[in-house]
Amino acid sequence: MFEKSLWVFHLNSGSCNGCDIEVLNIFTPRQDVERLGIKLVGSPRHADAIAFTGPVTRECLPKVIEAFKAVPEPKIVLAIGSCACGGGIWYDTYAVIGGVKELYKILKEEYGIEPPTTIYIPGCPPKPEAMIYAVGIARGLVKQKQKKEIYIEELDEKTKDMIEILFEEARGTRHFLPQIIVKTSEESKNES
């Protein structure tokens, strides 16, 4: 998507600082991400991408929207950490919006802004390498691994055999009770 250098504006939208420290970690000599042309910038107007860390609290929502609008098109949103991806541990509390997906709903309803390309980076906090991998996806260096998995169980004969075996064992014991037949008093009189 972005072939050239990606300049990132890092915005703390109510995070616990865990993800922020990991974001700073990727600029250390060990993971030195500036070799890929990535740079933190001080103003959203200079940025290509905006990185959210946190579940978007109600208090910071106006500032988040302001910063979001200030980033010029075309832009990329990096949702860093499980809080930004899906609300994290605070997903249903009253004080937070609950991740970037809810933020997009508000943006579309109130301002008519279409959601931009978003890269979700789950983790609590994500490993610095996981963020480099996400940037690699944005730059087209690596391929996406994660895919949706659905499994639907089909009953085979094994389970039916198992049930029969269990019942046969039960019938073999002397404690097994026959079926209860409830009769009214009239029926019992007729029989006798």
Partner 1 sequence: MGRFKLITKAISIGRVTEKYPFVPLEVPEGFRGKPVIDPEKCIGCTACSNACPPQALQVYDDLERGVRVVHLFIGRCIFCARCQDVCPTEAIKLTKEFELATLSDEDLHQIVELQMVRCEECGKPFDTFRHLLYTAKELQPWEREMMFLCPECKAKKVSEKLIFGKGGGYV
Options 4-12, 46-54, 59-67, 146-154: segment touching partner 1 (CB under 8 A): 146-154
Tell me how far, at minimum, the Cβ of 70 lies from partner 1, in Å: 24
- CA atoms of 131 and 28, how far apart (whole Å): 14
DSSP SS3 for 95 = coil
What is the radius of gyration, based on Cα positions, of the chain?
Answer: 29
- CA atoms of 41 and 20, how far apart (whole Å): 15
Which residue among 94, 109, 110, 151 contacts partner 1 (CB under 8 A)?
151
- Choose which of 15, 51, 56, 87 interacts with partner 1 (CB under 8 A): 87
Residue in 68, 88, 97, 107 binding partner 1, rule: CB under 8 A: 88
Residues 6+ apart with CB under 8 A from 58: 95, 96, 97
Nearer to partner 1, 29 or 62 (CB): 29
Task: From residue 143, give the alpha-carbon distance in Å to each of 78, 111, 146, 147.
Answer: 17, 34, 9, 12
Compute the least distance from the CB of residue 192 to partner 1, in Å.
10
State the sign of the Cα–Cα–Cα–Cα dihedral 39, 45, 50, 52.
positive
Footprint on this chain of partner 1 (rule: CB under 8 A): 29-32, 35-36, 82, 85-89, 91, 99, 101, 117-124, 126-127, 129-134, 136-137, 141-142, 144-155, 159, 162-163, 166-167, 169-170, 172-173, 175-185, 188
